[in-house]
Amino acid sequence: MYVELKNINKTFNGFQASRDVSFGIEQGQLVGLLGPSGSGKTTILRMIAGLEYPDSGDIIINGVRVNDIPASKRGIGFVFQSYALFRYMTVYDNIAFGLEVQRSRKADIRARVAELIKLIGLEGMEKRYPHQLSGGQRQRVAFARALAPNPQLLLLDEPFAAIDAKVRRELRAWLRETINKVGITSIFVTHDQDEAIEVADEIIITNAGQVEQKGSPVEIYKHPATPFSAQFIGQSRTVENYAALNGFEHVAGFDRAIVRPEFIDVEKRGKRLMFESAAETGVVESIFFRGNLSELTINLGGTRIIANRALEAEEVAVGEEVSVLIYRLYLYNDSAVRLAENVLIRDVNTVFI
């Protein structure tokens, strides 16, 4: 493990922001810390950087316990949520700052800054001040500034939060590529699951100061380990009385279930070719155009669920009764999650969407 946190606790004036946090990160990985607002993501990042000190527990970087090493000596690159560019310095001086602090030779500084400016694609903008840059450009300067002194670990706090949706997509891809190219171990914070799933090699889900689950995006998606993960990931909706659904039986100890759009198939009534007996009848309550598909809210005997329907499929209308086939559910209680398949679908040839 390159970075390791062991039983970290942190309290701010009686409020526990980190609760027994433990995880490890392999060298060269790009890890996403994903969790709702206030779940303690920034706190974890700041403790790794040395901007905040844990009350108990160990932080180990590259085999060395760094708890008592000040931030300035840890050799970590940090990209702030607000970028925190030095506003009275030019792009060049911003990027050169860390190198000047290290008293590198002038020529080396110039070469390194030029290299980074090329990397972030801002050639010709060296003399600009941060307020003369767009949000995306600022973000990239912040990134270059953090990389300049060749840190062994890069921490990014919501690197895309302040950027509009379209540019964010481009930057995500760019960041992923660039980090791979540089080969630096990186941890980034986000509360956007699409972002985490798209960018990260590994995702760590945080909730209320605790680590809920750590795994690859696919694992997190397919095998939520805790009720929180199951609810947090995907467009999950809770179904209270799941035993009433066709094909599902009550499992002792599990009173509620989660259903995601990708577990659901919607057909017009009478058009379903197979498993009609395994399906339910629901009423379309609203239709929401999502660009590449439509999102339907369907009332299933009082429970609202969300389903997706391809744009090419025959249109359904609000108020229409439709046939709803639920392939599977995540059953959960306060401490556990388990998968339940629709028992009326026995045909192994079924292709799930």
Partner 1 sequence: MKPKAVKKSATKYILIALAVLFIAVMLAVPLATVLVYALRQGWDTFAAAIVDPYAIKALKLTLTAAGTTVVLNTFFGVFASWAITKFRFRGKQILTTLIDIPFAISPVIAGLVFIYVFGRIGWAYPFLQAHDIKIVFAVPGIILATIFVTFPFISRELIPLMQSSGTDEEEAAALMGAGGLRIYRKITFPHVKWGLLYGIILCTARAVGEFGAVSVVSGHLRGKTNTLPLHIEILFSEFHLTASFAVSSILVAMTVVILVLRNIVEYRVKREERSH
Nearer to Mg ion, 17 or 147 (CB): 17
Nearer to partner 1, 51 or 60 (CB): 51
CA–CA dist 65, 50 (Å, integer): 12
Q: Is 49 in the site for partner 1 (CB under 8 A)?
A: yes
CB-neighbour burial class of residue 90 (10 A; exposed 0-12, middle 13-18, buried 19+): middle
Check the CA dihedral 72-78-80-81 and report its sign. Answer: negative
Q: Is 32 in the site for ligand ATP (CB under 6 A)?
A: no
Q: Is 206 in the site for Mg ion (CB under 5 A)?
A: no
Q: Which of 18, 39, 42, 229 binds Mg ion (CB under 5 A)?
A: 42
247 touches which of partner 1, ligand ATP, Mg ion, none (CB within 5 to 8 A by kind)? none
Helix (H) or strand (E) holding 83: none
Q: DSSP character for 274?
A: S
Q: Is 84 in the site for partner 1 (CB under 8 A)?
A: yes
CA–CA dist 21, 8 (Å, integer): 5
Comparing CA positions, the residue from 136, 119, 117, 135 lying closest to residue 127 is 117
* Closest approach of ligand ATP to the CB of residue 99, in Å: 29
CA–CA dist 25, 40 (Å, integer): 18
Q: Is 15 in the site for partner 1 (CB under 8 A)?
A: no
228 touches which of ligand ATP, partner 1, Mg ion, none (CB within 5 to 8 A by kind)? none
39 touches which of Mg ion, ligand ATP, partner 1, none (CB within 5 to 8 A by kind)? ligand ATP
Contacts to Mg ion from residues 294-313, by CB under 5 A: none
Q: Which of 138, 140, 168, 191 binds ligand ATP (CB under 6 A)?
A: 191
Comparing CA positions, the residue from 106, 94, 191, 173 lying closest to residue 141 is 94
Q: What is the CA radius of gyration of the chain?
A: 24
Check the CA dihedral 95-101-104-106 and report its sign. Answer: positive
Stretch that binds Mg ion, among 40-48, 107-115, 235-243, 338-346 (CB under 5 A): 40-48
Size of the site for Mg ion (CB under 5 A): 1
* Closest approach of ligand ATP to the CB of residue 211, in Å: 12
Comparing CA positions, the residue from 69, 67, 70 lying closest to residue 59 is 67
Instruction: List the x/- string, 161-180, binding to ligand ATP by CB under 6 A.
Output: --------------------
* Closest approach of ligand ATP to the CB of residue 42, in Å: 3
Contacts to partner 1 from residues 159-188, by CB under 8 A: none
* Closest approach of ligand ATP to the CB of residue 37, in Å: 3
Comparing CA positions, the residue from 123, 116, 170, 181 lying closest to residue 147 is 116
* Closest approach of partner 1 to the CB of residue 124, in Å: 21
- Pair of tokens at residue 111: 């070469």
Question: Who contacts 141 (Cβ-Cβ below 8 Å, separation ≥6)?
Answer: 83, 85, 91, 94, 95, 120, 122, 130, 133
Interacting residues toward partner 1 by CB under 8 A: 49-51, 71-74, 76-78, 80, 82, 84-89, 97-98, 101-102, 131, 145, 149
Residues that bind Mg ion (CB under 5 A): 42
